[in-house]
Every structure is written in structure tokens, then in C-alpha cells.
Structure 1
């Protein structure tokens, strides 16, 4: 029976005359116990969760960021630029380092334990209903649903969301945010995504949806399915990286980050300091 731990805690608190609202510890337990279902790729469960929750995903705008490496850096840089411009930005960082509540953040700050518990509590009845119809949502699917409902409740201006694994069948792909970015395509999770760059690129290209603005830092065979996806949808692909229309030229690097010149078809921004370590971050700046 789902959420037995949560129900036992509620019964105990009731006997003690305490509040029946879900605590942060309860919320974490409700999510992590779903980890026993492992990785189960597919969009049916999370799509049904969105329907049960009255589609909090609809109307959300922003960017879905996929790729093998650099997703977190691209999300962090994009968030910082937007927040500096006065835009309220919701993100779903992964993995968390200290507290589970880090997985839902607004303007770079994790939501409170109270708000995290409330977000999980909102989705648990939907999780139970979906379980009875198509099987149990995974931990990541339930967390994704909770994060989406919380960002929708807060009415953030933009959501910049990092894809979990692959793209086509990842829970975050239920979102159509208007912009799809793919940092790069390299071999990873081959048992799930395929053992060639073309196959892996195809999985990642699936986050691009009709009418999206599409950006890719990929090259070679991994780029081929991304180009094909854009052609099929009739949308332009913006290329990022060395010798591409959108590029960042590394000028200096140190313990406090890197300095780059960022070049776009419209303008050039010189001597930008980026507080992330490693020369490879220039490629993420371009995206």
C-alpha cells in the first residue's frame, strides 16, 4: 500500500494531538520510498499526473536543457543572467547536495521545508490515482510533478529546467517551455539511450517541440538527429560552440572562474567573467 510510512506517522501524530499536515520528513520519505521502483522510462505516468493535477505545466514558459554534460552549468548561468535582469526564475536542480528541498528553487534559492512538504502533499493523491491506473510513478516522476506544481503556484516568470536522463522518455519532457537547448551529445547510459552517438542524439533531440527555439552545442554524429528533428518540425537550429554563430572565446581562467568574449550574430560582449571553473565552461557559455 503506497505511503505506509507517511500514514503511520500521521496516525501517531493524531494520537499525540499534533497537526495532520505532512512534515518535511514525511515528504522526503514519501518520495524516497518510491525509489524502490527504480528507473522506469516513459511519459505516460507523468502525463497522467499532470492531468490529475489540472495541468499545472500549461502556460509555463522558459527552457528545457538537455545534453550529456554541462546541463547544470547552462541552467545556472541562464538563471543568473535572468535574475540579474529582474526576472523571477524557477529551477529544478539535480542532484541535491545537502537537503532534498534544493530540488525546487526560485531565483537560485531552495524553497522552504514547509513549501516542499506542501508541494509533495498536493501531488500524493494524484500519485495514488495514477498508480491504480498505469502503475506507480517513480521517485523522480513524483518529484517532477511536485516541483512543477510549486513553480506554477508561485507563478514564476520563467522555468529553466534540466533534463534528468536522455530526453525523449524523461519525466521533464512533459514540459513544453518554448526553448529547447542541447549542450552536447556523448556516450552515456548506453543501456537505456543506445550505444551510438546518433541514437543518443535522437533521444536528446526529442525535447525539441513544434514552435520551439532550438539551440545545440553538439557536433558530429550526435548533431545529425538534432538537425533532422528541426527539419521535420520546420524550425531553425541555432548552433553554439567554436566557429559557430554563437560562441565564447576563452581569454583567461583562474580559481575564481573564466573570462570569455561572447559572440552572437547581433553583438559581441567582451571580458565577461563567469564564476564557474574550467576552460570547458566556455562551451556552456556559448549555449
Structure 2
């Protein structure tokens, strides 16, 4: 009986070791959840452009106007969102070779309609439009979003976002302002503002593009256009093509 009892006792798992194992698993899962939260709330830190995106960004060092024209699902809007987030926050990565601003900025992100602006540039910059709890999972890091103002049009559409710029090391913190606009409102709604940059996501009419560019003249700012070519050799596309390129496309 004594031997049998000893074997039985030895075969029982130690409650102390079991509790320690459960605690370790909980700690490990908590670490994974925290890593996932940090990744989702700071997508900008993980952005690495593929060669064509990198070429588009780098061209900003010398050019006020840039066009990223490519097919669907090739990272055009993602590239625009990443660059806009860098300018809004002042957080330029070590590999960055493009345009930089040394102070807070006022930027616009625009699209064809209110819904289109909400579903593309706003989504990429801020997060899912209909899930406010997930705002901060776009390209603008969650800890940089100070305030949001709702728009009056499409449900979930934002009018503007106040973004924390700088504040690291010797850089004094300031505030950038991002506003969302659409082409459907007409050129008159684009007048009056002085901006550091306008992002056209989808091809704009020439008068809208010209007005947006004018908004950046006083600051020496920039315009970027990201779209899939659907309108052929439009006036906006022609602004970015050399005579040889135009001739070659016409001949093709």
C-alpha cells in the first residue's frame, strides 16, 4: 500500500508547475496581442516601397508635381497615403530620399466623390471609415491623431484630422492639419486655402487640378496624383508626358 501510494503521488502533476505554465502562456499571448496592436496602430513604421513606389517618392525631391499612374491594386493609393502620413507627422524613415518639410503642414487628400474620398485616401490614412474604434490603423500612426472632425456628406466621412507633427528629441511638437475634399463640389470650393500639398487620388478634371496646384504656390508645395488611367490621353495626363512619350503612345 505504501509503495502504491508513493507511485500514485509521483504521477500527479505538480499544481505549482501547472500554474506557472498557464501564467507563461497568458504572458506570451499578451505579448503577441500587444505586438499586433502596435503593428496595426503604426503601419507607417512597417512601410517599405517596392521599386516603382520608391522611384515615385524620390522624384519629389526635385519635382513639385508627380504622377503615379498604374493598374488596379498596384499600391498607388498606399504609396500616396504613406507619403502623406510622413509629411503630416514629420516621421521620415532612414531610407527616405523624397520631399521633406521641416515644420507642420496643411495638406488635402481628395477624390472624385465624397464616398470615393472616404473609401480610398481616408481609409488608407486613418482606417476603416465605418469603424471609429479602428481609426488609427491607417498610415497615420494612432498616437499622432489628436482630433477628428466629421464631414456632412457620406456616413463615416471625415472633414479633417489634426495630426501631431514632430516632438521627438530636439524637435518641438506642432500640429499638422489634413482635410478631405472631392472634385464633385466644383472648383469654387477649392479656392482660398494656402497649402503645402494636395493629393489627387483618381484623375481630376484639369480645372480642379490647376486650382489645387495654385493652392501650393505660396509655400512651394507639392501635388501628387495617383490613379489608374481610364480617360485616355487627358489634359492632366499630358502634363506629365514628354513629347516623345506622347508620340510613342499615340503611335502604339
Greater RCO between the two (CA within 8 Å, min separation 6)?
2
Alignment TM class, shorter chain as reference: 0.3 to 0.5
The alignment's TM-score, normalised by the length of structure 1, stands at 0.29
Q: Give me the TM-score of the superposition, normalised by structure 2.
A: 0.32
Asked which structure has the greater CA Rg, the reply is: 2
